């Protein structure tokens, strides 16, 4: 078996070509990391937004679309006040009457949510991190990624600034975070303000936080029996499964792009190793004549490819760590790429996979050449 120093020396001998391949593998790793982080972020957005103890009443004809759901406000408030099994905190029921409105700023579409104070009991993931909640007319609480979804810069979304939505000026009085959820890409306003701005007399839904997940059955029965309210009940997880199905093609596309990046990296590595084998045909033939087994030569060439891939993968991982926070839009929201250790590990594994695939064929080809031809430098 040849020592690993042999592989290191050969990489240094071909340092110009090795450098180009190293850069290509680093770029491959970075792209795989980015695409994987994007796919994981989309999956996390639906998984972490849904709570098993949250039930949503929607209009009986709306199916699973909250924006199209319509419930008269009086009936929604009656349902919020009389639904069984809802938790209370300091005398306030965790039953939030809400209005969901698709809003527009230029060519960008966002989501406004009109809420009551009970919304924070129902959605504890939402935490105000700057400023305060809306108290006066046309005040706005903005999600950490709402600006990114609408194509607005950080300064435009700063607390104290105003923003025009639904043909009105809204003052941003606070910012909230809800990491990894769909809420972070929303604008929250007082329910009555959003109803007045949109000239709506109805609401979209009633979100309730049950005392335990088992209350879902009782709340379904309540909605079915109260025919006068014209509502139906879904768990929050059921509602978000529809969003998950809508995001599935985007997740699949991100994974395909990561796979294509892996293939491109394998081709780059293979090109380098084929050139190395062709340039060293006589040298490899001499090693075979000296008694080194074919598998030892294959292993030595694979070591070269894997060392190059490891260096490129490490560089790609370091580049990912050095990048500033990146917020990306998708059709139903926005997310921030998180380069977790798991995601970086996938990127490094992809680089090593590209190295192994790219190095194996040239290595096998090197030992299939007849010894006489190899010693003569013929391929």
What is the distance between the alpha carbons of residues 352 and 310, in angstroms, rounded to a whole number? 6
Domain ranges of the chain: 4-47+244-375, 54-211
Indicate if the pLDDT at residue 86 is higher than 80.
yes
* pLDDT tens track for 21-50: 888 888 889 999 999 998 888 888 777 777
Are the CB atoms for 96 and 80 separated by under 8 Å? yes
Are the CB atoms for 61 and 72 separated by under 8 Å? no
What is the distance between the alpha carbons of residues 244 and 255, in angstroms, rounded to a whole number? 16
Using CA atoms, how far residue 223 sits from 38, 134, 220, 232, in Å, is 38, 31, 5, 5
57: which DSSP letter? E
* pLDDT tens track for 251-280: 888 889 888 888 888 887 777 766 766 656
**Best CA proximity match to 49, nearest among 329, 321, 242, 222:** 242
**Best CA proximity match to 363, nearest among 10, 26, 19:** 10
Using CA atoms, how far residue 76 sits from 80, 118, 166, 202, 221, in Å, is 6, 14, 23, 9, 16
What is the distance between the alpha carbons of residues 220 and 282, in angstroms, rounded to a whole number? 78
Q: Please report the pLDDT score of residue 55 as a whole number.
A: 92
What is the distance between the alpha carbons of residues 302 and 14, in angstroms, rounded to a whole number? 16
Q: Which neighbouring-strand residues pair with 287? A: none
Are the CB atoms for 177 and 127 separated by under 8 Å? yes
Please compute Rg for the chain using Cα positions.
Answer: 29
Q: Which residue has the higher pLDDT, 311 or 374?
A: 311
* pLDDT tens track for 42-74: 888 777 777 888 999 999 877 667 778 899 999
Q: Are strands 327-330 and 333-336 parallel, antiparallel or unpaired?
A: antiparallel
What is the distance between the alpha carbons of residues 97 and 203, in angstroms, rounded to a whole number? 7
Are the CB atoms for 58 and 69 separated by under 8 Å? yes
Q: How many CA atoms lie within 13 A of 198 on its CB side?
A: 23
What is the distance between the alpha carbons of residues 210 and 22, in angstroms, rounded to a whole number? 55
* pLDDT tens track for 137-192: 999 999 988 888 888 888 888 999 999 888 889 999 999 998 888 888 899 999 99
């Amino acid at each position: 078996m040849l020592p690993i120093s042999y592989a290191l020396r050969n990489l240094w001998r071909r340092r110009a070509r090795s450098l180009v391949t190293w850069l290509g593998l680093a770029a491959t790793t970075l792209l795989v990391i980015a695409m994987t982080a994007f796919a994981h972020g989309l999956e996390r957005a639906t998984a972490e937004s849904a709570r098993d103890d949250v039930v949503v009443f929607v209009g009986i004809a709306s199916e699973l679309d909250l924006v199209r759901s319509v419930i008269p406000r009086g009936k929604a408030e009656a349902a919020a006040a009389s639904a069984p099994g809802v938790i209370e905190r300091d005398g306030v029921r965790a039953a939030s009457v809400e209005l969901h409105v698709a809003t527009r700023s230029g060519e960008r579409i966002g989501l406004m949510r009109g809420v009551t104070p009970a919304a924070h009991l129902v959605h504890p993931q939402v935490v105000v991190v700057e400023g305060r909640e809306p108290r006066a007319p046309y005040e706005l609480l903005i999600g950490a990624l709402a600006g990114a979804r609408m194509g607005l810069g950080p300064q435009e979304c700063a607390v104290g600034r105003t923003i025009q939505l639904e043909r009105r000026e809204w003052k941003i009085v606070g910012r909230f975070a809800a990491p990894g959820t769909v809420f972070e890409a929303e604008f929250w306003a007082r329910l009555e303000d959003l109803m007045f701005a949109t000239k709506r007399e109805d609401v979209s839904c009633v979100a309730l936080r049950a005392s335990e997940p088992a209350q879902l059955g009782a709340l379904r029965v309540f909605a079915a029996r109260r025919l006068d309210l014209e509502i139906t009940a879904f768990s929050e997880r059921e509602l978000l499964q529809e969003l998950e199905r809508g995001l599935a093609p985007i997740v699949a596309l991100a994974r395909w792009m990561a796979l294509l990046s892996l293939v491109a990296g394998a081709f780059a590595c293979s090109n380098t190793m084929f050139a190395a084998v062709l340039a060293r045909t006589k040298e490899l033939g001499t090693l075979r004549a000296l008694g080194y087994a074919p598998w030892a030569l294959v292993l030595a060439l694979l070591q070269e490819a894997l060392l190059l891939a490891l260096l490129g993968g490490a560089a790609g991982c370091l580049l990912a760590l050095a990048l500033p926070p990146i917020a990306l839009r998708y059709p139903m929201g926005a997310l921030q790429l998180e380069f977790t250790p798991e995601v970086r590990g996938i990127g490094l594994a992809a680089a090593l996979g590209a190295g192994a695939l790219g190095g194996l064929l040239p290595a096998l080809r090197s030992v299939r050449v007849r010894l006489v031809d190899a010693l003569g430098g013929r391929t």
